[in-house]
Amino acid sequence: MPNLMVAIQNAVNPRELGVATATSALFRSLGGMFGVAMSGAIMTAQLQNLHYTLEASENMGMHSLIDQGIQQIAQLPLAQREVVASVYRHAISTTFLVGSLISAMAFTVVLFLPEHPLKSFSNSDQKKADGSAAR
């Protein structure tokens, strides 16, 4: 994230560095929270859909996969345990696939962002910029 922070700080006026840095941190936290929530929702939806599909097609009579813990899954017969593991593998792979698609879209957006040359301010330049902005 240091590169992103440098790019953000380079794109704003020196008087707005604090606001830009804080806003970046806020949106990074919100993005992380939203990403984790979205991944959990995708995984849960996949588990529920696959469970109902397996239960209807194979008539296994299992309890809801969402309600079972590791101990209950370990006590299942080998065939059912393999089905449960397969369902989880599929749900996890779908979650990562969606995440990689979102990452690819973000990368594409970054390719089209405008390029700003790095600014260099000395103390005297900073004082001039602050003085002219105050007027």
Find all residues with CB under 8 Å of 92, minimum gap 6, and list them.
Answer: 43
- Give the start-to-end residue ranges of the domains of the chain: 2-115
Query: What is d(CA 116, CA 50) in angstroms, rounded to the nearest whole number?
Result: 48
Which single residue is written with the structure tokens 């910029």?
A: 129
Cα-Cα end-to-end distance for the chain: 35
One pLDDT digit (tens) per residue for the chain, 135 residues: 678 888 888 888 889 999 999 999 999 999 999 999 999 999 988 888 776 766 655 555 554 555 667 777 788 788 878 887 888 898 999 999 999 999 999 999 989 988 878 777 655 555 555 555 555
Query: What is d(CA 91, CA 53) in angstroms, rounded to the nearest whole number?
Result: 13
Q: In the structure encoding, which two tokens stand for residue 21, read together? A: 């840095």
The whole-model pTM stands at 0.66
Query: What is d(CA 64, CA 31) in angstroms, rounded to the nearest whole number?
Result: 31
